[in-house]
Structure 1
């Protein structure tokens, strides 16, 4: 059976969508071909890389991509992971199902943190919430 093609879409493709792509590849790489992209590109967030690495998932080779760069990929599912991407999600020329599963923005949560560890706790919380969704609900959403 062919792998389902799933895109995680966020505003800047720097943190939440990158973590979701990493978890999908790590947990369901045998069933899911995962991608991530953004409405814009903000670069890969180093704290996202750090907390994913703590959990045993290496996303350090990911790059921040525009959603248009995946125009030729016949997507099965698009998961918007932030409100801005959900509100501004482009139309896809395929039969892709689009769902919104919002997560808090770790950089925004961490902006007033008193220490690096306190900031990283914000990233860890969102990382774990994304993992929970990917682990428990993604396959049902994509129809696997």
Structure 2
């Protein structure tokens, strides 16, 4: 497959969930997907998000927090929101072909010491299914 499907992950802060999702999709299938992430109200990346990715053997190279506005000139075939708040605020995106709403609790707001690990596992399971569905069509 020479065409890479452009995918954008969006959450409010672009500090944990969308960063984890971006790194996981790139790690899982960078051959078929071109991936980015952004936030509706970006904040610095939570160090625990980077730590959990690195412990899982997933590269964090080149990921950084960014706003939706910085990606306004790019076209995405699939936009995946990772929280209900971002799903509501995402109406400003220009005509993505497909919008998926995946609602994951913010691990930064959890008192569970394993919240980031659980979030990584849950997002990874969803991404594996997403890749299977999207690449099966070929």
**TM-score with structure 2 length normalisation?**
0.90
Aligned twin of 1:129: 122
For 1:60 and 1:43, locate their aligned partners in 2 and report how far apart those are by CA, in whole Å.
15
Aligned-CA RMSD value:
1.7
Aligned twin of 1:82: 83
| Structure 1: 5+ residue stretches without partners | 114-118
Contact kept? 1:49, 1:60, Cα under 8 Å: no
For 2:119 and 2:48, locate their aligned partners in 1 and report how far apart those are by CA, in whole Å.
12
Deviations along 1:77-100, whole A, 9 cap, x unmatched? 000001110111133324431110
Aligned twin of 2:53: 52
For 2:133 and 2:9, locate their aligned partners in 1 and report how far apart those are by CA, in whole Å.
16
Q: How many residues align?
A: 136
For 1:89 and 1:141, locate their aligned partners in 2 and report how far apart those are by CA, in whole Å.
22
User: Shift in Å at residue 62 of structure 1?
Assistant: 1.3
For 1:100 and 1:32, locate their aligned partners in 2 and report how far apart those are by CA, in whole Å.
18
User: Shift in Å at residue 58 of structure 1?
Assistant: 2.2
For 2:105 and 2:14, locate their aligned partners in 1 and report how far apart those are by CA, in whole Å.
14
For 2:23 and 2:64, locate their aligned partners in 1 and report how far apart those are by CA, in whole Å.
12
Aligned twin of 2:36: 35
Aligned twin of 1:140: 133
* Corresponding residue SS for 1:13: coil
User: Shift in Å at residue 7 of structure 1?
Assistant: 0.2
Aligned twin of 1:116: none
* Corresponding residue SS for 1:103: coil
User: Shift in Å at residue 104 of structure 1?
Assistant: 1.1
CA change 1:7–1:47 in 2 (3 A) is same
For 2:98 and 2:86, locate their aligned partners in 1 and report how far apart those are by CA, in whole Å.
15
Bigger CA drift: 61-70 or 132-141?
Answer: 132-141
